[in-house]
Amino acid sequence: MGFKMLPIRTHSGAFRFIEAIAWTSIFPYVYFMIETFPEVAEPDISFYAGLLVAVFTFSEFLSAMIWAKISDRIGRKLVLLIGILAGVVSAVAFGFSKSIVGAVVSRAIGGLMNPNVGVVQTCIGELAKDKKQQAKAFPIVSSLRGIGSLIGPALGGLLADPVKHYSSVFRHDSVWEYYPYLLPNLVVAFLSVLGMLPAFLFLRETHPRLARNPDFGLKVGNWITSALGERINRKYFHYSRLQDDSVVEVPSRRRSEVEDGNATALELQPLQSDSSPDGLGDGESLHSDSSPDDLDDGKSLHMPPKPFTLQVVLQILSVSLLAFHKVSADIIIPTFLAFPREPLRDSSPRLSRDVLRFSGGFGLSTQEIGSILLTQAGIAIVAQATLIPFALGRYGALKIFRLVLCTFPVMYLFTPFVVRLAPPLAITAILLDLWVKVLLSSTGYVCSAIL
């Protein structure tokens, strides 16, 4: 990939990583947060919990094309930095929200002001020109976003309502008690600032027309890098001057011609190998296979392909369906875990009449929900390293992708019944349900990228 590719990959991936944490960190506590809003009735809590999650991504969808056009005018780097600053404001505002209107508005602002959906991909595409570079760069960005989606729920669940869970550190009658969900949002804001600093200092503008514009942040970053590099070189590396007999002399005739400016461009070019980078031999021409008819007006050679072929449309539909399954599971499971348990009833034989009546959840705390959601990170990492490559190599991406899309609806049918089991068995069943869904979504996204 080259050294110049590394900063763009890592910083671009950091944008998506932080965005994913900001989006998913509310999952474990959003039910409890809405429960504290006096204007929301108890039967409507689940609806508003889904609304707070959905409004972020819907707002991203509305503003994605607008941010793409803005980045063409002012540059990719500036747009991404604006998005991070807006994310910080959105997270802090959400943490201070005491009404459903304030919570919805803060989440909507975070989505509307988030340019990462299209701009990050554009940065990678502008830097990674050939397919080999793109094949290495795009998966890194996607993987970092996936890791952020797994870490976010655990972070939100473990840090929500700190006075209740960490009373020895966070005192009563403090800001943490009045705003019990401020702490996870402050951590999200801190991570955003932490990701913005290296991007401001070291991320280069990738827009071809704006790449040469003055960049104050990059100048400061280069000064820091050179200062640190000089200190490291003086401390750990030593250089010795070449001996006089080690200097390579340029032939006198060529040297004089170069000094006089009489050498031709061909003489100054490096020698070419037998085969050019394009794979052409010495006697081959770029248009050797083109007939005169193809070269009449150049239209046939430069005709752009149709963007929306049948294969592309089917791919878009299938990926949309997979995203629908993934996000639906992400919203349903935390709410299901937080919803109070159904009171025990008598054991009269009314199973046939009440088998499809579900009115309770697991009644878990934010910490317990965060711990459960954290387990899916380990499953996803292990699966992507072992199980998914094995399955793809044995059965192919298309067959596995079809299996994923067909299995998700079956899991939906299984999920509501796990709460009917005895408590130890019910937790085990919901963990298996969660792990299978994470495995399906991880496999599906990998298959989609291949297809």
pLDDT at residue 185 greater than cutoff 90: yes
Specify the DSSP class assigned to residue 234.
Answer: H
Pair of tokens at residue 251? 């032939």
Strands (E), 321-404: none
Q: Of 152, 31, 53, 63, whose CA–CA distance to 104 is shortest?
A: 53
- C-alpha–C-alpha distance, residues 69 and 443, integer Å: 33
- 19 with 116: CB under 8 angstroms? yes
- 322 with 448: CB under 8 angstroms? yes
pLDDT score of 298:
47
Buried b (16+ CB within 10 A) or exposed e, 301-331: eeeeeeeeeeeeeeeeebbeebeebbbebbb
In order of 7, 234, 254, 264, 276, the CA distances from 268 in angstroms are 33, 36, 9, 7, 18
Q: Is the dihedral of CA 158, 163, 165, 166 positive or negative?
A: positive
How buried is 89 (Cβ within 10 angstroms: 0-12 exposed, 13-18 middle, 19+ buried)? Answer: middle
Contacts of 367 by beta carbon, 8 Å cutoff, 6+ apart: 157, 158, 165
How far out from the chain centre does Cα 167 lie? 34
CA 152, 155, 156, 159: dihedral to nearest 10 degrees? -170
pLDDT score of 324:
79
- C-alpha–C-alpha distance, residues 62 and 424, integer Å: 44
Tell me which amino acid residue 15 is. Answer: F
pLDDT score of 13:
67
Q: Is 311 helix (H, G, I), strand (E, B) or coil?
A: helix
Q: Of 100, 137, 129, whose CA–CA distance to 10 is shortest?
A: 137
pLDDT score of 373:
83
* Long-range Cβ contact pairs of 161-169 (< 8 A, separation 24 or more): 161/29, 161/32, 161/366, 165/365, 165/366, 165/367
pLDDT at residue 399 greater than cutoff 80: yes
pLDDT at residue 186 greater than cutoff 90: yes
- 289 with 300: CB under 8 angstroms? no
Pair of tokens at residue 147? 């890791």
The confidence band for 378, taking pLDDT boundaries of 50, 70 and 90, is confident
Residue with tokens 């290296």: 198
Residue with tokens 């709460």: 419
**How confident is the prediction for the chain on average, in pLDDT?**
75
Pair of tokens at residue 22? 């900001």
Pair of tokens at residue 35? 């429960």
Average pLDDT over residues 201-210: 79
Contacts of 255 by beta carbon, 8 Å cutoff, 6+ apart: none
- The 10s digit of each residue's pLDDT in 85-137 is 999 999 999 999 999 999 999 999 988 998 887 787 777 777 766 666 655 66
- C-alpha–C-alpha distance, residues 367 and 165, integer Å: 8
Which pTM does this prediction carry?
0.70
The confidence band for 182, taking pLDDT boundaries of 50, 70 and 90, is very high
- The 10s digit of each residue's pLDDT in 311-370 is 778 777 877 877 777 777 777 888 888 888 776 554 444 444 555 666 677 888 888 888
- 141 with 9: CB under 8 angstroms? yes
Pair of tokens at residue 98? 């005491």
